[in-house]
Amino acid sequence: MTDKNIVDRSRIHKNAAVVKTVRATRERLQHGREMPPEFDNEMSRLHINAVLQGAAAPPVLVLLASVGGLWFDEAIWLIAWALMALFVYAGLVLMARRASREPNDKEMTRRWRQRFLAIYAVIGLSWALFAFQDCTTCQDDNFNFYKSAVLLIALAATAMTTFALRFALYFTVLPIVAALALRVGISRDVSDFSVLAMILGAALFFLFISQRLYSTNLKMLSFQTEKDDLIAELEVAKSVSDEARRRAEESNLAKSRFLASMSHELRTPLNAILGFSEVMAGEVLGPIENANYKEYVGDIHRSGQHLLNLINEILDLSRIEAGRYELNENALSFADIAEDCIGLVQLKARSKNIRITEAFEEALPMVWADEKSMRQVILNLLSNAVKFTPSGGEIQVKLGWTAGGGQYVSIKDNGPGIAEEEIPVVLSAFGQGSIAIKSAEQGTGLGLPIVQAILAKHGGEFVFKSKLREGTEGIAILPRERVLESMAPVEGLPGAVQKKKRAFG
């Protein structure tokens, strides 16, 4: 369809923007720079959630502090202070609820931040009032220690709630420290000074912890942002990859359909060309008086034959790649097929004064394979060996057992060989080495890929070895599962099958 062929060019720009964002975030993390103001909104939301989730803790602390204070000193001021503190904390919770419903806007976040800082200052004043009071009926320092414990708990709870809101703990701590310092200046008591020192040290510690929590959460937000950016980048890359894979599958399917539909249209005129040129070359209907015409007819026949072979090889490779190459398997002798193929190329080998030697192991059992495919495998290897072996050279054909119990056929020549870096090119479709390109007998570059695909279809393996100026060796291997277990021949039967005689010398 038309819409399937549309490529979204904007993805490239989106991908570049994502990469830029990721690099900027990574640079901020590595160099410890100030985080961007966009994180203020997230930190504000984190603080609001902390206030709402811990809304019950401050009132409980205030009630326990007032009840415990009444046990030490029966003072009415504790009840009034508790009511005031509860009122302030209730205002904080109501403010957090209202802020949670507001839009996450930069200006709005700034306003709510100022309001929260103001109410934390009021909370600090309420705890400063608690810290300034003294026990009127106490005879020892128990009330001061009790007051110190309450203030430590209050500071710890405030630090855990306000770590996401910068400077909030300062607004709470400063009034308390100021009240305790004023108390020390008035009373000049050692116990009050101890309380001041304890609260001041604890306040500095909580301020440090609060700042560390704030920085940690900022980095966590940065990590989350970086992760989201990477996920977006991966999604873009995956979508581009999926589109490329889909287009490749469509192209491959279109290629297969084209080859399937064109096979008849191409072969029919080629058969006519080959047939009529063969009739003309044989002068069946009469002699051809012009010698040049007769030479042209021979060229037409050879060109048509070459084109037909090329079409057949392309169709074979396409059927194998498309999974439509069906094997017509039966029991056959690897040695017999090798001998027949040697006989087919023997005439051309003799014309180049090339000697073909054989080394077959005896009593090899039959194999279960497609005879046509096995002939094509051995013929392709032999044809390549004859084609590239120089005049007076030698080709060795070996047949035997593999170490795993399978059978192999090896065809080795002493031709010019192929460089190691060119072997992957030779094994690819339409790939040719530099020697083949310079040779006068150039092929299609499909012989070895077809051999490799046919052996893979049989569950076998193709091994190709070559070195410059040392020759080339191609090994076709069939696995053990393809070898049939043979039974001992029955002797004395009339008409026993004899070994097939060689049809060539």
What tens digit of pLDDT does each residue of 307-350 get? Answer: 777 777 777 776 666 666 677 888 988 889 889 888 888 888 88
Question: What integer best gives the mean pLDDT of the chain?
Answer: 79
Average pLDDT over residues 501-505: 43
Q: How confident is the model at residue 223 (pLDDT cuts 50, 70, 90)?
A: confident
- Measured CA to CA, the distance from residue 410 to residue 478 in angstroms comes to 12
- Measured CA to CA, the distance from residue 287 to residue 269 in angstroms comes to 25
Distance from the first to the final alpha carbon of the chain = 61
Q: Is the pLDDT of residue 497 over 50?
A: no
Q: What per-residue confidence (pLDDT) applies to 499?
A: 45
Average pLDDT over residues 259-281: 76
- Measured CA to CA, the distance from residue 104 to residue 110 in angstroms comes to 10
Region of 492 please: left (phi>0), alpha (psi -120 to 50) or beta: left
Q: Is the pLDDT of residue 282 over 70?
A: yes
Residue carrying structure tokens 């890929």: 449
Buried b (16+ CB within 10 A) or exposed e, 59-69: eebbeebbeeb
Distance (Å) of CA 339 to CA 100, 236, 395, 409, 497: 89, 57, 14, 11, 18
- Measured CA to CA, the distance from residue 265 to residue 243 in angstroms comes to 33
- Return the DSSP state at 494: T
Residue 438 φ/ψ, nearest 5 degrees: -80, -15
Q: Taking the model in full, what pTM does it have? A: 0.47
- Measured CA to CA, the distance from residue 368 to residue 329 in angstroms comes to 6
Q: What per-residue confidence (pLDDT) applies to 450?
A: 83
Distance (Å) of CA 228 to CA 25, 222, 223, 450: 11, 10, 9, 47
Average pLDDT over residues 476-501: 64
Region of 140 please: left (phi>0), alpha (psi -120 to 50) or beta: beta
Q: How confident is the model at residue 409 (pLDDT cuts 50, 70, 90)?
A: very high
